Amino acid sequence: MEFESKYALIDNVNIHYVSGGPTSAETNSAKNTLGPTFIFLHGFPEYWQTWQAQLDYFCRDHHVIAPDLPGYNLSDKPEDIAFYQVPNLIEFFAKFIQTVSPTKKVYLVAHDWGEQ
C-alpha cells in the first residue's frame, strides 16, 4: 500500500506525516478510514520511515499514521531549545493526535523516548 504524505500545522509548527490504511468509498472527495488508528512515534535521530515494516503490516486492517518529529526530516525545526523538552513534546503531540484523529481514540506506539 502507498502512504499519503500530509502536513498538520500545530502551534505554528508544520509536522509532516504519512497516513494509510483501509478506506470506505470516497464520500464528497474525502476518504473515510476504517479500523482502529495507530500512531507511531520514532526515536532519535530517526524519521517516520523507521516504522515502515510495522506500517506495511498494520495498514491492512488499521489506520496508521507516522509523523516526522519536530526537528527531523520534513517537519519544521523550531529553534527554541525548550520546545524539545520531553514534557513540551508530550503536550505538542497530544495536540497533534487531536488534530489527526479528533473523534477516534488511538493506539500510540513509541520507542526511544528516554527516561524522565
- pLDDT tens per residue across span 78-107: 999 999 998 999 999 999 999 999 999 999
Residue 116 lies in a domain: no
Phi, psi of 32 (to 5 degrees): -100, 115
Residue 38 lies in a domain: yes
Provide the CATH number for the domain around residue 18: 3.40.50.1820
Confidence of residue 28 (pLDDT cuts 50, 70, 90): very low
Task: Indicate the helix (H) or strand (E) that contains 67.
Answer: strand 63-67
Domain of 31, in residue numbers: 4-110
Overall number of domains in the chain = 1
First CA to last CA distance, the chain: 37
pLDDT at 48 over 50: yes
Residue 97 lies in a domain: yes
- In the chain, which residue ranges form alpha helices assigned H by DSSP? 52-58, 86-100
* pLDDT on residue 5: 98
pLDDT at 34 over 90: no
- Greater pLDDT, 22 or 70: 70
The residue to which cell 496508521 is assigned: 64
Residue 24 lies in a domain: yes
Q: What is the pTM of this model?
A: 0.86
Residue 104 lies in a domain: yes
What is the CA angle 55-44-51, rounded to 5?
10
Residue 115 lies in a domain: no
In our burial notation (b when 16+ CB lie closer than 10 A, e otherwise), range 6-26 reads eebebeebebbbbbbbeeeee
